[in-house]
Amino acid sequence: MTYVPYHKKDTITMLAGPCSIEGPEQLDTVASALKGEGLTWIRGGAFKPRSSPYSFQGMGVEGLRIMAEVGARYGLGTLTEVVDTAHVDLVSSYVDALQIGTRNMANFELLKRIGSATAVNHKPILFKRGMAATIDEWLSAAEYLTADGNPNVMLCERGLRTFETATRFTLDISAVPVIHKRSLLPVCVDVSHPAGQVDLVPALAKAAVAAGCDSLMIEVHPDPPHAKSDASQQLTVEDFKALLADLRTVAAAVGKTIV
Ligand code: PEP
Ligand code: MN
């Protein structure tokens, strides 16, 4: 498919989908709901950067195949994470946009490889902030991605490691206006990973929209209690739809529509 631009000034691009791709039915259920809501992208991990080697590591290439099939079936842009320089061409061949996760923000060899692999095709890149990185470090690292000529990079705030334990990470909502002041790159806010718990997701999402984010990331799963990763923070499809209706109201108040 041709690349859908991530960012237009009057839209907020919703990047919703499961934490991990777990099978064709699971992803189809989510994709069908996203399409039904008029959204344009789906996210899902095939290679998962898990904190423990004993946790589910993702479906790998089979997950990429499922993502490509489901994306084509519904006409949705597809986003998945790349965790290894050796996977860049493989992952690129299956999906429309590449995610770089928080644990790899400072993996400069991976950034260089993705920057050079997308220098000509300008494949969109979603570049998450390191959980302990300053905004200066994040913006500097982003230049590894753009240096060879790909301008199509979106930054993604996803929460910081702080002394606070009431949330999984501390969402730095200030990053949105700071990035808008300091960079031309659009900013996504991932509200699921900082929340860590599903009941906190709506408030963080509304705050991100009100703060002027260009995109939102929200994890959605057909059966969250049985999810193979991040079970406690994923919204059901029904809860996601209800939240989306509220977010559209907040977005309208700041002159934007959610796509
Ligand atoms: C993800 O989005 O699936 C993910 C692993 O996020 P992060 O890199 O922010 O932890
Ligand atoms: Mn996750």
Say which residues have a Cβ less than 8 Å from residue 20's Cβ, sequence separation at least 6: 44, 45, 46, 48, 56, 58, 59, 63, 227, 228, 229, 230
Distance 136 CA to ligand 2 centre (A): 25
Asked if pLDDT for residue 80 goes beyond 70, the answer is yes
List phi, psi (to 5°) of 209: -65, -45
Average pLDDT over residues 13-20: 98
Q: How far apart are CA 60 and CA 55, in angstroms?
A: 14
Residue 7: the pLDDT is 67
Structure confidence at residue 6 (pLDDT):
60
Averaged over 15-29, what is the pLDDT?
Answer: 98
Structural contact between residues 93 and 117, judged by C-beta atoms closer than 8 angstroms: no
Rounded to the nearest angstrom, the distance between the alpha carbon of 102 and the centre of ligand 1 is 6
**Interval 93-147: pLDDT, tens:** 999 999 999 999 999 999 999 999 999 999 999 999 999 999 999 999 999 999 9
CATH no. of 11-258: 3.20.20.70
Task: State which of 155, 157, 190, 229 you would mutate to test the pocket of ligand 1, scoring each by most atoms of that ligand within 8 A of its C-beta.
Answer: 190
Beta bridge partners of 187: 155
CA of 45 to the centre of ligand 1 (A): 8
For residue 130 the two structure tokens come to 């390191």
Residues in the chain, total: 259
- Is 90 exceeded by the pLDDT of residue 4? no
Ligand 1 pocket: which residues have CB below 6 Å?
19, 45, 49, 81, 101-103, 128, 158, 190, 193
- Residues 188-192, mean pLDDT to the nearest whole number: 98
Any idea where the domains of the chain sit in the sequence?
11-258
Q: What is the pLDDT of residue 247?
A: 98
Separation CA 136–CA 17 (nearest Å): 29
Mean pLDDT of the chain: 96
Indicate whether 5 pLDDT > 70: no
Query: Closest-lying ligand to the alpha carbon of 45?
Result: 1
> Pairing between strand 97-100 and 125-128?
parallel
pLDDT score for 219: 98
pLDDT at 210 over 50: yes
Instruction: Take atom 9 of ligand 1 and give the residue whose Cα is closest.
Output: 102
